[in-house]
Structure 1
């Protein structure tokens, strides 16, 4: 009885050794293959706010101009076309000067490597199962060398902020040009309304006491009231545009870009401060290798028993 038990135990040990050996061999081969095919990479990111959180006031002021008769339609200078903006940020024209800065530390780094590792997207906020776009752009770079990834992100952040300053200058210049073309039109309308009202008052002696109560002049009195209201609105619009022009001049003098880095370039770290590699297929494939090894080991033992 004991002899039979020992024999079965030796047989079981043999099976376990076979399974362990095959599983180890397959897992090692999978590990080597996966490591070569999918080397560790690191991904850092930063977040840019590319327009002021509140721009409605100036938008309303610009749009107010186009509602005035004899003015040209206003263009939308206050809102960012994010799809176009992201294309610009990824364009060789904008990446080229940043690449020159990167090459001071990594001379062989190419534009193709830069574009391949760079990912730019507009962030969206999820609220009550509804996705709404934000004014934040997320910029990521992924590569094998964490020091290089950090260096590239730092230079990219600097380049994008400088671009943002120049873009704001150009945008302010367009706004100033539009306002300057509209001011003479608005002034002309104010002068025209003032002249018409003055002519009406002088012709019908509307400044005389109780003249508006006379039954002979109801239509003329209404016209005078309408001109007065139009003149008031025209004066208010003209003053608003003058104030807008002063604001634009102040912004241009301050020379501050509206772009802000709200989350600086960084590679994520764990609780102990170690850099966290970017996700890749290696973990899944390693698990698959272990499962395959176990399956092959178990299958081999079954075949050995049948011989």
Structure 2
């Protein structure tokens, strides 16, 4: 049992690695379980409940925020039904996740959609010297790779030609071209599915940030005043804010913040607790992660940090 936050996951990795290396029989026979303490406690109208993840928390706020709202697309006669509204909000939430993944790679979303060419979004970004360039297809990426090798070969030949022949060694003659530095921006299948879901509502990715007049009209129960929102970002932020009305949210940084009764009710009570069984692949993955981050070999750790540095949300300095 560890904290529900990032620090807890680090400790869990250490423990799983210990069991895998020194008590493998426990892992092989599925005798190890992970208790899942909650990350949040929410209280509304004197009723409390516990929530385990950020995603569950967001779903809770959206559901609550939509409970007293009706949403109508500008230009349509009737508002969306409850189920249709929930489907739309899930789609917008997935758009946010997609945008977050793009921006964690160092690419502003406006720049990404602004680079669209003939209805296609860039699939890769290649680094050529100090400049970065978007690439739209596998074929185009292969072209850049070939061009990169050709440039390196030419530079190599020019360098050799500037050295006296008698000073050139066989090792110097061998060309070891560096690979083209490129970044895959997204899973094409995921983007395709997302665009289709947006299209069902007559929307596209631009609608998240770029406003071209009013997009939605929102009416709150018991209030005749209608609010017009111009982008999907504005709409979903308003719904979350509406969901927070009258809700007290407590985020647990660690198990030490819970009293004994709370710990029993949420994590220890066999009748209601959530346990995750540890399998051999789980332990192997934890061992690999531990070896990479804490082992003697620097290169795998450097590659991991360079790859995931932009994805960091919480950093202790």
Work out whether the TM-score is over 0.5. no
Q: TM-score, normalised by structure 2?
A: 0.22
Larger radius of gyration: 1
- The TM-score with structure 1 as length reference comes to 0.23
